[in-house]
């Protein structure tokens, strides 16, 4: 067959009917299109803006890459799959067998069946497209139908290609108390890899998310952007390769580091989901797509308002008794708090949990601290008109504990009598072991069964995998530990979700160590960071909410000076920052003076009024704290567009004539709104037109001046439609 190659705008097109059929995965605004060649290869030809009429595409297509590139078929780039067969063969060449598509309501499901041409190795590419949210999930299932074992040493969830003049990658990194910082860089030829090998708390230093801007640096409200997130709580790897033809290929999935997976005859291997969305209206539209999708499909009770919590940790730490806790409850109830959460330190008797060195794993109530037990506290909380929550860390164990003495074989451990490596004086239980999964499940199940009025569980995890080794896994399958641990955790969370559908669960891992779409699917919220300094939180929450919705972002008001940074901030500034997520409190109420208690009561009552806008509305990022002008601003818009919030922060000193100029987004330009400053601590407003009527068109296109001059000063405005 004659081949004609036509060069057009730097792209190679292949004609003369080399392509036989299209597989079109679509949402309302996005298209992901594959083509099946006459040689039965499945190739990606488009990912981006919706193509309604695909006529001609089957004959003329830009070929990005194979839908699922494998090792050993002539591909010298990054590959998605490496499989070694029993006879030593490592080459895999996947060909199209068939595909199915079905659509029900908002969701289109697609499965593309591939098979190796020489071996009984089958690979199914699964896609779920959410029409209204413009989100596509992809995952892979590998089937071993050979008579003997196959070893998988690479197993990506997704392989997507892009074509642009240049690429700018935003990725999200940090450390303990400095999570979700943003780095943007221009990709050049070669491979950029974002990965973690920590096993647990995997999002503390890197997050399995990215935003890739095409044809220029990323902008909030314009330009082409692809946003992606891997729904996996374990080790991950995102690889971006730019080749000599200026094509970019992104391969994402579980990090195969130390994780060769042995697949017996008849077994399947399923990868986690890769979540993707495309926007031609900049980063913010991509974020809104992900937030809307998460609240509807990937967050427990995403349609239910989150309560205001007071957590005992920064108010009491390990040093408390029942009287001290009840005193905190008194203050919490007076301020209007809805859930009181007892944090670490309530358990252990032989080895009491008076610090981080002992007791972890022994989940019986400490009789010295709490001689009347938990029910005494739970009943008192109810008497005060609140619900009760509790902290657990059931995956972990102190060497100084009854559990470690009784079940040393349950601990993840280095073999051949190597010294155990401690982190925060604790070790990790082996969740690849079903008995350990049952134990971890039973820790929480026993609490919730014995004390059915517990309404909230804070699930923590405070170390990485460092003592690599399992007494449960066979010698040959030690490399399954990273993956099976994460799957074991997911199994436990699913069991608890099923049995306790109304109990609120928070994912915490030394702060933001479990901020991912896998954990979020089985929990109601996450603890974004142990850093509660509101200045630091401006940056942490800014990065976090690029992907994860504010309704799930726990943000707490703590004492000043802050216990991490020792920075002093006003109570108003602390509330104004925390109100941008799920508002909570983390201090002793009696540390506040009378004036501060009065302000806190007013602020909490206000949040109860505005939280439907924050938790169910769309978030628009207006002014970045990363910019040099020293301001940050966001606004929320209710689904009806009849209500909105504007939050503006000054985090640097500004000279006499400098003012913050803000243009809102997402309003209805035809509506007339009343602009009212709220959560004030003085009679003077930060705008000259408080309570005046302004059209949505002016608020978005002309903007308003906000008079913020001092560092760590803020203003919040409610924008309401007038009749």
Is 77 tagged catalytic? no
Structure-token pair, residue 407: 């079940």
3-state secondary structure 134-183: CEEEEEEEEEECCCCCEEEEEEEEEEEEEECCCEEEEEEECCCCCCCEEE
HSE-up of residue 129 (Cα within 13 Å, Cβ side): 23
What's the rounded Cα separation, in Å, for the pair 675 and 693? 7
- Helix (H, G, I), strand (E, B), or coil: what is residue 370? coil
Q: What is the DSSP string of 81-102?
A: EEEE-TTS-----EEEEEEEEE
460 classed as catalytic? yes
Please name every residue paired with 247 in a beta bridge, in sequence order, or none if there are none. 163
CA distances to 139, 374, 385, 525 from 232, rounded to whole Å, are: 11, 34, 38, 16
Using left for φ > 0, alpha for ψ between -120 and 50, and beta otherwise, residue 417 falls in left
CA-CA distance, 282 to 127, in Å (whole number)?
24
| Torsion sign across C-alpha atoms 677, 683, 687, 688 | positive
Q: Which two tokens stand for residue 255?
A: 């990090």
β-bridge partners, 114: 96, 123
- Please give the C-alpha separations between residue 541 and each of 170, 183, 275, 485, 499, in angstroms, as whole numbers: 16, 15, 20, 29, 32
Structure tokens at 110: 């697609």
Task: Return the SS3 of 711.
Answer: coil
8 A C-beta contact, residue 579 and residue 619: no
Tokens for 615, please give them. Answer: 């938790």
* Interstrand relation of 61-62 and 427-428 (parallel, antiparallel or unpaired): unpaired
Place of tokens 């109810």: 382
Is the Cβ–Cβ distance between 93 and 116 less than 8 Å?
yes
Q: Which of 362, 460, 516, 531 is catalytic?
A: 460
Between the alpha carbon of residue 380 and those of residues 266, 377, 683, the distances in Å are 56, 5, 38
Peptide bond into 544 cis (omega under 30): no
Nearest in space to 390 (alpha carbons), one of 514, 305, 506:
506
CB 445 within 8 A of CB 493: no
Pick the catalytic residue from 530, 531, 533, 618: 530
3-class secondary-structure state, position 4: coil
Beta strands in 382-530 (DSSP E): 387-392, 396-397, 427-428, 454-459, 504-507, 525-527
**Token pair in block for residue 512:** 């933001």
Is-contact 35 43, C-beta < 8 A?
yes
Question: Half-sphere exposure of 227 toward its Cβ, with a 13 Å CA cutoff?
Answer: 28
Q: How far apart are CA 515 and CA 496, in angstroms?
A: 19
In angstroms, how far is the first alpha carbon of the chain from the final one? Answer: 70
List, in sequence order, every beta strand (DSSP E) within 603-659.
618-623, 631-637, 643-650
Burial (CB < 10 A; 0-12, 13-18, 19+), residue 32, is buried
Residues with Cβ within 8 Å of 141's Cβ and at least 6 positions away in sequence, in order, are: 123, 124, 126, 268, 269, 270, 271
Token digits of residue 575: 């509330």
Q: Which residues are catalytic?
A: 460, 530
């Amino acid at each position: 067959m004659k081949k004609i190659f036509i060069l057009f705008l730097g792209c190679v097109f292949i004609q003369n009917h080399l392509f036989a059929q299209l597989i079109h995965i679509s949402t309302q605004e996005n298209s992901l299109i594959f083509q099946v060649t006459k040689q039965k290869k499945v190739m990606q030809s488009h990912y981006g803006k919706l193509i309604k009429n695909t006529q001609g595409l089957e004959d003329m297509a830009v070929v990005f890459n194979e839908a699922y590139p494998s090792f050993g078929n002539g591909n010298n780039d990054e590959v998605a799959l490496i499989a070694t067969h029993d006879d030593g063969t490592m080459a895999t060449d996947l060909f199209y067998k068939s595909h199915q598509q079905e659509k029900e309501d908002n969701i289109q499901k697609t499965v593309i069946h591939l098979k190796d041409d020489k071996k009984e190795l089958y690979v199914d590419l699964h896609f779920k497209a959410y029409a209204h949210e413009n989100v596509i999930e992809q995952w892979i299932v590998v089937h071993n139908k050979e008579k003997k074992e196959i070893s998988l040493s690479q197993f990506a969830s997704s392989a997507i290609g892009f074509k642009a003049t240049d690429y700018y990658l935003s990725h999200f990194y940090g450390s303990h108390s400095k999570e979700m910082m943003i780095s943007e860089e221009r990709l050049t030829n070669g491979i950029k890899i974002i990965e973690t090998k920590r096993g647990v708390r995997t999002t503390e230093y890197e997050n399995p998310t990215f935003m890739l801007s095409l044809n220029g640096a990323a902008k909030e409200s314009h330009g082409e952007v692809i946003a992606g997130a891997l729904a996996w709580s374990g080790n991950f790897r995102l690889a971006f390769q730019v080749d000599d033809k200026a094509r970019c290929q992104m391969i994402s999935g579980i990090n195969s580091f130390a994780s060769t997976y042995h697949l017996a005859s008849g077994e399947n291997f399923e990868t986690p989901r890769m979540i993707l969305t495309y926007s031609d209206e900049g980063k913010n539209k991509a974020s809104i797509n992900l937030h809307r999708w998460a609240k509807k499909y990937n967050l427990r009770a995403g349609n239910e308002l989150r309560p205001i919590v007071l957590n005992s940790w920064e108010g009491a730490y390990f040093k408390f008794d029942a009287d001290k806790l009840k005193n905190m409850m008194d203050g919490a109830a007076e301020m209007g708090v809805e859930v009181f959460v007892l944090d670490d330190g309530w358990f252990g008797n032989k080895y009491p949990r008076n610090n981080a060195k002992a007791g972890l794993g022994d989940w019986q109530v400490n009789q010295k601290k709490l001689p009347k037990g938990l029910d005494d506290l739970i009943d008192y909380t109810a008497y005060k008109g609140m619900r009760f929550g509790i902290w657990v860390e059931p995956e972990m164990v102190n060497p100084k504990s009854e559990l470690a003495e009784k079940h040393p074989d349950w601990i993840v451990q280095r073999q051949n009598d190597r010294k155990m490596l401690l982190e925060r004086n604790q070790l990790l239980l082996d969740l690849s072991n079903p008995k350990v999964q049952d134990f971890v499940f039973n820790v929480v199940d026993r609490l919730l069964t014995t004390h059915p009025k517990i309404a909230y569980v804070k699930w923590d995890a405070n170390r990485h995998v460092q003592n690599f080794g399992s007494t449960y896994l066979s010698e040959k399958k030690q490399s399954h530990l990273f993956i099976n641990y994460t799957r074991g955790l997911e199994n436990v969370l699913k069991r608890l979700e099923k049995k306790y559908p109304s109990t609120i669960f928070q994912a915490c891992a030394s702060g933001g160590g479990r901020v991912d779409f896998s954990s979020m699917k089985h929990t109601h919220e996450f603890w974004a960071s142990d850093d509660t300094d509101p200045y630091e939180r401006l940056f942490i929450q800014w990065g976090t909410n690029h992907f994860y919705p504010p309704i799930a972002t726990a943000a707490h008001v703590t004492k000043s000076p802050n216990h991490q940074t020792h920075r002093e901030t006003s109570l108003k500034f602390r509330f104004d920052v925390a109100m941008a997520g799920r508002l909570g409190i983390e201090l002793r109420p009696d540390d506040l003076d009378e004036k501060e208690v009065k302000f806190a009561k007013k602020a909490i009552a206000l949040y109860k009024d505005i939280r439907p806008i924050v938790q169910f509305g769309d978030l628009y990022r207006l002014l970045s704290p990363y910019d040099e002008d020293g301001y940050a601003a966001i606004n929320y818009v209710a689904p009806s567009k009849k209500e909105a919030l504007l939050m503006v922060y000054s985090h640097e000193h500004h000279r006499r004539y400098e003012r913050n100029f803000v243009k809102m987004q997402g309003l209805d330009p035809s509506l007339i709104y009343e602009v009212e400053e709220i959560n004030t601590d003085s009679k003077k407003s930060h705008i000259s037109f408080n309570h005046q009527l302004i059209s949505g068109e002016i608020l978005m296109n002309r903007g308003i001046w906000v008079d913020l001059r001092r560092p760590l000063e803020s203003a919040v405005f409610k924008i309401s439609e007038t009749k």
